[in-house]
């Protein structure tokens, strides 16, 4: 590896060193049981990695390192967005995790290593690295989901996540083996060229797509590969839930887009139809189940699955139109969703920690006990519902616009109907907070510390910044997808 390659891998190297530094600080200050020093080290490292990714993106770099990792605008977009998402989670979790575990140094280091896994996965241009990156990300996520030792819900969350993940990983690996057997290559571009040159591998290619979609669908929580998600999101520590439902999910979409577009353009008609069907199934099933939930945290878990369906519309409706090409809609939705959903789960975290409940009844009359928290939660719920001028509206506008542009009118119509259905359970929480009186006078609820308060305010500001001043984010997303679309189509 030469010096330029080292510079191109600056985000990954910073994250690697930061993870070990967070562990080293914890070892050196073992008496410091609140883990604050490790959290600060992790935050500094994540911010440095974020700056490094933005700097590389601004330089217009487009390189492939060791024939396995792409350093391009597409990968750098996901690196920057997921890094800042994990940083917000760490910032908010410092008070929440205090006293829940004596291994907080490991907790923050694992979040950094999970970010490193995401960074590797979104850059992978080789099927072997795709598999290794997803498994690296999955293993760190299993540990984080079950991090609270002795908590039965946390242990159950990790167990279900592991069992589903092991199965999905094996199925995906089988799909990779089919592609290798058919083409003799693991490089995505080489696989694409081999499949395009041969007309005899149609059924093998379709089978490979199906098996690969199982692995991608597990990581991105597409129905019917989502069954682990509601229980894992509900049982995992809430900061971990915020991470799993946003940054980890974004990695699944990034790798799915790169693999399908570059390695399988010959089958684009087939996989876009499959993904459109999965998007309809994902949105509809998750939203109807979410309507029945009494736990706000579990409702948001199903909501997160439904949003995976909305995001999937962007990949299913991919095309060459510069404004609504589907893939740029996917990226816009991802950046809007990360700030919105992290904010929503962090608000749940504040209520859960002080009211000791996630039931919707705990939110009754919240406006009188926690007016600031109520305002923030309302902002995030309105954004999740896609109401302007929030970031959620911009995301939905671009993915549904892409579906219309590609004449996928049924997909766009089902998406629009699901937006209305989802608004019912989001606004029900707002109704409880403002208009339902609590049966017993509950405790006053604060923002839960400077870290959590700062993270919530940042998320709320970004929800409006993206919603009102959307053009820079639209431009960034558009520039980030051009090379990927050109490489595949």
Q: What is the pLDDT of residue 255?
A: 95
Judging by beta carbons within 10 Å of its beta carbon (0-12, 13-18, 19+), is residue 474 exposed, middle or buried?
middle
- Of 252, 248, 267, 262, nearest in space to 222 by CA: 252
Q: What is the pLDDT of residue 341?
A: 95
User: Given the DSSP bridges, would you call strands 69-71 and 63-65 parallel, antiparallel or unpaired?
Assistant: antiparallel
User: Can you give the chain as a three-state secondary structure string?
Assistant: CCHHHHHHCHHHHHHHHHHHHHHHHHHHCCCCCCCHHHHHHHHHHHHHHHHHHHHHHHHCCCEEECCCEEECHHHHHHHHHHHHHHHHHHHHHHHHHCCCCCCHHHHHHHHHHHHHHHHHHHHECEHHHHHHHHHHHHHHHHHHHCCCCCCHHHHHHHHHHHHHHHHHHHHHHHHHHHHHHHHCCCEHHHHHHHHHHCCCCHHHHHHHHHHHHHHHHHHHCCCCCCCHHHHHHHHCCHHHHHHHHHHHHHHHHHHHHHHHHHHCHHHHHHHHHHHHHHHHHHHHHHHHHHCCCCEHHHHHHHHHHHHHHHHHHHHHCCCCCCCCCCHHHHHHHHHHHHHHHHHHHHHHHHHHHHHCCCEHHHHCCHHHHCHHHHHHHHHHHHHHHCCCCCHHHHHHHHHHHHHHHCCCHHHHHHHHHHHHHHHHHHHHHHHHHHHCCCCCCCCCCCCCCHHHHHHHHHHHHHHHHHHHCCHHHHHHHHHHHHHHHHHHC
Identify whether the C-beta of residue 289 lies closer than 8 Å to the C-beta of residue 227. no
Q: What is the pLDDT of residue 102?
A: 80
β-partners of residue 71 are 63
Q: What is the pLDDT of residue 401?
A: 94
Q: What is the pLDDT of residue 480?
A: 92
Q: What is the pLDDT of residue 456?
A: 95
Residues 6+ apart with CB under 8 A from 392: 336, 337, 340, 382, 383, 384, 385, 386, 463, 467
Q: Cα angle vertex 282, ends 466, 168, to 5°?
A: 105
Show me where the domains of the chain are located.
267-489
Q: Tokens 């766009």 correspond to what residue?
A: 412
Q: What is the pLDDT of residue 17?
A: 97
C-alpha distances out from residue 126 to 61, 166, 254, 319, 378, Å: 19, 21, 14, 24, 43
Q: What is the pLDDT of residue 95?
A: 83
Residues 6+ apart with CB under 8 A from 143: 110, 158
Write out residues in the chain with pLDDT < 70, as ranges: 1-4, 31-33, 198-200, 439-444, 446, 448, 487-489
Q: What is the pLDDT of residue 484?
A: 78
Identify whether the C-beta of residue 238 lies closer than 8 Å to the C-beta of residue 105. no
Q: What is the pLDDT of residue 3?
A: 59
Q: What is the pLDDT of residue 460?
A: 96
What distance in Å separates the CA atoms of residue 202 and residue 251, rounded to the nearest whole number?
28
């Amino acid at each position: 590896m030469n010096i330029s390659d080292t510079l191109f891998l600056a985000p990954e190297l910073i994250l690697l060193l930061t993870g070990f530094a967070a562990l080293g600080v914890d070892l050196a200050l073992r008496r410091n049981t609140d883990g604050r020093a490790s959290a600060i080290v992790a935050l500094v490292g994540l911010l440095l990695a974020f700056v490094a990714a933005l700097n590389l993106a601004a330089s217009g770099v487009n390189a492939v390192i060791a024939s396995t990792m792409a350093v391009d605008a597409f990968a750098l977009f996901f690196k920057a967005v997921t890094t800042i998402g994990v940083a917000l989670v760490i910032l908010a979790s410092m008070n929440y995790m205090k006293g829940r575990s004596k291994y907080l140094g490991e907790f923050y280091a694992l979040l950094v290593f999970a970010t490193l896994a995401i960074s590797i996965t979104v850059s992978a241009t080789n099927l072997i690295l795709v598999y290794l990156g997803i498994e690296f990300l999955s293993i760190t996520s299993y540990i984080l989901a079950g991090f609270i030792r002795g908590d039965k819900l946390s242990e159950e969350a990790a167990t279900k996540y592991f069992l589903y993940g092991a199965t999905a990983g094996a199925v995906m690996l089988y799909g990779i083996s089919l592609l290798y057997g058919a083409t003799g290559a693991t490089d995505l571009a080489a696989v694409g060229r081999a499949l395009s040159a041969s007309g005899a591998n149609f059924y093998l290619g379709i089978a490979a797509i199906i098996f690969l979609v199982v692995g991608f669908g597990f990581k991105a929580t597409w129905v019917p590969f989502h069954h682990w998600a509601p229980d894992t999101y509900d049982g995992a520590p809430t900061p971990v839930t915020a991470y799993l439902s946003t940054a980890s999910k974004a990695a699944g979409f990034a790798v799915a887009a790169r693999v399908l577009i570059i390695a399988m353009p010959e089958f684009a008609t087939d996989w876009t139809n499959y993904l459109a069907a999965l998007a309809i199934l994902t949105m509809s099933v998750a939203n109807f189940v979410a309507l029945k939930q009494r736990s706000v945290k579990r409702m948001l878990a199903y909501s997160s699955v439904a949003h995976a369906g909305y995001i999937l519309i962007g990949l299913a409706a991919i095309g060459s139109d510069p404004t609504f090409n589907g893939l740029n809609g996917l990226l816009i939705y991802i950046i809007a969703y990360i700030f919105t959903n992290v904010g929503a789960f962090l608000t749940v975290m504040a209520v859960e920690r002080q009211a000791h409940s996630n039931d919707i009844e705990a939110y009754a009359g919240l406006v009188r006990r926690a007016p600031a928290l109520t305002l923030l939660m309302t902002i995030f719920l309105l954004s999740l519902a896609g109401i302007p001028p929030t970031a959620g509206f911009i995301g939905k506008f671009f993915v549904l616009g892409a579906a219309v542009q590609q004449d996928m009118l049924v997909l766009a119509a089902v998406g629009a109907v699901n937006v209305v259905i989802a608004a019912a359970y989001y606004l029900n929480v707002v109704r409880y907070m403002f208009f339902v009186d609590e049966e017993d006078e509950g405790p006053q609820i604060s923002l839960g510390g400077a870290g959590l308060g700062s993270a919530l305010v940042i998320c709320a500001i970004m929800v409006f910044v993206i919603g009102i001043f959307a053009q820079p984010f639209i431009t960034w997303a558009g520039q980030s997808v051009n090379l990927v679309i050109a490489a595949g189509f």
